[in-house]
Amino acid sequence: MLGSELSLLFRRRRTRVLLALLLIAPWLMGFVIFQFGGGKGGNGPNFVDLVTHNAVFLVLASVSSLMPLLFPLAVSLVAADSVAGEASLGTLRYILIAPVSRLRLLINKLATALIFVVTVCVGVAVSGLIAGVIFFPTGRVLLLSGQTTSFFHGILLALLASLLIAVSLVSVVGLGLAISTFTDVPVGATLGTLGIIILSEILSNITQVRGIWPLLPTNYWLSFADLFRDPISFSGIGKDLLSQGIWLVFAFSLASARFLSKDVTS
DSSP state of 181: T
The helix or strand, by DSSP H or E, that contains position 149, with its residue range, turns out to be strand 148-149
- Peptide bond before 231: cis, by omega within 30 degrees of 0? yes
**Domain ranges for the chain:** 2-261
Q: What does the pLDDT read at residue 44?
A: 47
The per-residue pLDDT for 232 is 92
- Cβ–Cβ < 8 Å for 170, 247: yes
Query: What distance in Å separates the CA atoms of residue 8 and residue 16, rounded to the nearest whole number?
Result: 11
Contact 258, 182 (CB under 8 A): yes
123 CB-near residues (< 8 Å, 6+ apart): 19, 22, 23
Residues ≥6 apart with Cβ < 8 Å to 155? 56, 129
pLDDT at 99: 64
How far apart CA 237 and CA 220 sit, in angstroms, is: 7
Position 173: which residue type?
V
Average pLDDT along the chain, 266 residues, taken 10 residues at a time: 85 92 95 79 65 92 91 94 81 68 90 96 96 94 92 96 96 96 91 96 93 95 92 94 97 93 65
What pLDDT sits at residue 48? 84
- For the entire predicted model, the pTM comes to 0.91
The helix/strand/coil state of 142 is strand
DSSP-H helix ranges across 37-100: 47-50, 56-66, 70-89, 92-97
Pick from 170, 9, 179: nearest CA to 83: 179
Cα 119 to Cα 50, 54, 77, 112, 125: the distances in Å are 26, 24, 15, 11, 10
Question: Whole-angstrom distance between the N-terminal and C-terminal Cα of the chain?
Answer: 20
